Structure 1
Amino acid sequence: MTSPLGAHPSAAELLAWYDRAARRLAWRDAAPDPYRIWVSEVMLQQTTVAAVGPRYARFLARFPDVAALAAADWSELAEEWAGLGYYARARNLHAAARAIMAMGGFPTDSTGWRALPGIGPYTASAIGAIALGEPLVPLDGNVERVVARLFAIETPLPAAKPLLGRLADGFTAQPAMRARPGDFAQALFDLGATICTPRSPACAICPWREGCRAAARGIAGELPRKSPKAARTALHGVHFALLDEAGRLLLERRPESGLLGGMLALPGTPWRAEPWADAEALAHAPRTDLDWQARPGVAQHGFTHRDLTMRVMLARVPELPEGVPLDQATRSLPSAMKKLLPLL
């Protein structure tokens, strides 16, 4: 296909490279099925391949199919997801599993997947291409980068997204892509992850080096351009560590909506822009009859557009039957809450 910006490079050439150089990833070890691809794509959102690999295998061992996932209590899924971040993904995964069981099985095309909770255009296209064989090009960050360089698109992201999407869709006119849409999508992912990398792309060994406009102009490392990031919001909170003599810690489950929604946490104040004075924070303590002592130091955690600074106050009681042993808390708490434990 020829676009206004020139011909698309050969899908057959990329697939031949993929056949030689494909990454060995856990979700590629078996014939692609919608459940495995769906779980892997949700896990990979905002998380690195290196971090997802072992967690993916552990997740499938605990929830081997959509029926097991739908039947699980939220607390089980929250525990398994702890440390992966972006916890709304897990809530949507759970809700979508139950919706799939209610409808009697998986959607048969990407349009049906798009209607499920938490399934956006990218995830629906990835499942459609890889698991269902639809001629779709999922547009993630790797694919955006590859396409921006192939056609030397200098319009900054996110404004360039519609154009990059149209250019990516141009590959669907090629018979080689249509014959192997799942492999083509994964070849694009691998090309962006291993050769057409954000910094210092390895253009000399790229299977598409001859047709890349950015490489020809010597600007591949500069693309895609990005608009200036919005200022990050600062948040502050105080959390309360109530421990007993057996080392058990009081935890609570956060509200379903908002940051860390539905996850286990130390009780605490709301998170807000202004720091909390001790006297003000103590009104939110789980028990106001105890001698709460402020611990030195702070814990800091970054969310997508927000930076959270937390302090911790400690109190002890002889016995806390409802408490959770510290080793279990370490496994079950999300990353932000784990950062409080060293302050104890």
Structure 2
Amino acid sequence: MTNLKEYGIVMWDEEKIASFRRTLLSWYDQEKRDLPWRRTKNPYKIWISEIMLQQTQVQTVIPYYEKFLDCFPTVADLAAADEEKLLKAWEGLGYYSRVRNMQKAAQQIVSDFQGEFPASYEKIVGLKGIGPYTAGAIASIAFDLPEPAVDGNVMRVLARLFEVDYDIGEAKNRKIFQALMEVLIDPNRPGDFNQALMDLGSDIESAKNPRPEESPVRFFSAAYLHGTMAKYPIKRPKKKPRPVQVQAFIIRNENGDYLLEKNKDSRLLEGFWSFPLIETSFIAQQLNLLEDPADNLLETLSQKSAFEENYQLKPLWSDKTFALIKHTFSHQKWQIELVEGLLPAADLSENETLRWVSAAHFASYPFAAPQQKMLAEYMKD
């Protein structure tokens, strides 16, 4: 077990710990939000909510959560789901590796646990895509096990409570906050204790515009009492996403159908359909080397040639221009230029990744956020 004294942290005595638990849980009982996943002890439903809530606001998650459970009401349904139906249900939430890992974990549960969600932390954390935080949340909320659920919100609150002088963004420091929680967690109401700290960290003690004077545990907080709230938590800024320029080709045939391509790239948006995309060089533009509009025109022409060569299709290109589309992933910042073309109805029946699709059938295809933005811009007129 991590020795907190080695990190300059002095733990409270038992009386103060008990007082902290009572204060926090009393506040939670009065202020907790009525959320669909808080009306159940079903570990499957709690798991779905926890994965969805990573990197996504609560109000955004609610309709996705309800829709997902309508599509896949049980672990067995998720395990057996068709890939496109799965991606369609997750469409718009991003971080699509998570839903793929969820399906693999569901398949583990079916094969290794006879379809019953495992009821111990050790077995839960052994499932695909489930780390210590999610395992702790499921174990404590669904099974009342005294397991900490340490996410960014919880680390933020703890860093202020104890003036923790270690970067919460570094994985190696997570053990400090885990050790703090192992001492603090209420053994009688572990799920509520974890959720209370999450709620506190996501709202009153949020990263931006915190309201420390409203915190129910402010008089337990060393940072509040010492006037050092602005210092904590310690966290180095993230790396900026790499800029990438992308050309998107909107190709229609004589029937009014659109050319869609299924992404096979396992690194990003695998399994989703979109207009054909070609990444172009963004370096020259970042360095302002393409100052002559003619150079930009030449680059666009070269990408049209690249499309014709890559896809063995030769559209009649339109001169119509569209607004640039921007979309930011965690590691890339896309700037997308739309290019329109017309083409006779080429036979694509033997091609697994290219397909002619009418706009009326778009709703049945999983589209990631960049495709949805492209489509919205193209359809403006």
- With normalisation by structure 1, the TM-score equals 0.89
Q: 1:259 aligns with which of 265, 268, 293?
A: 268
Matching residue's letter, 1:288? L
3-state DSSP of counterpart to 1:135? coil
Q: How many residues align?
A: 338
Partner in structure 2 of residue 169 of structure 1: 182
Shift of 1:270: 4.5
In the TM superposition, residue 262 of structure 1 has moved relative to its aligned partner by 1.9
SS at match of 1:340: helix
Single out whichever of 59-68 and 192-201 deviates more from structure 2. Answer: 192-201
| Matching of residue 329 in structure 1 with residue 362 in structure 2 | yes
> In the superposition, relative to structure 1, how do residues 311 and 146 fare at CA in structure 2: closer, same or farther (>3 Å)?
same
In structure 1, what is the equivalent of residue 317 of structure 2?
292
- Aligned residue in 2 for 1:63: 72
SS across alignment from 1:242? strand
Taking only the aligned residue pairs, the percentage that are identical comes to 34
- Greater CA drift, 36-45 or 154-163: 154-163
SS of corresponding position for 1:251:
strand
| Structure 2 unpaired stretches of 5+ | 285-298, 348-354
- In angstroms, what is the RMSD of aligned CA positions? 2.5
2:336 alignment partner, one of 288, 310, 326: 310
Measured in 2, the distance between the counterparts of 1:96 and 1:213 equals: 41
Stretch deviating more after TM superposition (285-294 or 8-17):
285-294
Which stretch has the larger CA shift, 309-318 or 243-252?
A: 243-252
- In structure 1, what residue type is equivalent to 2:105? A
Q: How far does residue 303 in structure 1 lie from its aligned partner after superposition?
A: 0.7
Question: Which secondary structure does the structure 2 equivalent of 1:250 belong to?
Answer: strand
Q: CA deviation at 1:21?
A: 1.0
In the alignment, which residue of structure 1 is the partner of 2:59? Answer: 50
Does the 8 Å CA contact 2:263/2:270 hold for their aligned counterparts? yes
Tell me the secondary structure at the aligned position of residue 143 of structure 1: helix
For residue 204 of structure 1, what is the amino acid of its counterpart?
Answer: E
1:10 alignment counterpart: 20
SS at match of 1:257: coil
Alignment match, 2:250: 241
**Which residue is equivalent to 2:290?**
none
SS in structure 2 at match of 1:131: helix
Q: After TM superposition, give the deviation of residue 127 of structure 1 in Å.
A: 1.1
Deviation at 1:229, TM superposition (A): 2.5
Alignment of 1:1-344 (within 5 A): 4-7=9-12, 8=17, 10-29=20-39, 31-103=40-112, 104-105=114-115, 106-159=117-170, 160-172=173-185, 177-244=186-253, 247-255=256-264, 257-270=266-279, 274=283, 277-285=300-308, 286-293=311-318, 295-317=321-343, 322-326=355-359, 328-329=361-362, 332-344=366-378
Measured after TM superposition, the shift of residue 57 of structure 1 is 0.7
For 2:240 and 2:89, how far apart are their aligned partners in 1?
Answer: 32
Q: Specify the code of the residue in structure 1 equivalent to 2:331.
A: H
The two structures have a TM-score, normalised by structure 2, of: 0.81
Distance 1:312 1:128, change over 3 A: same
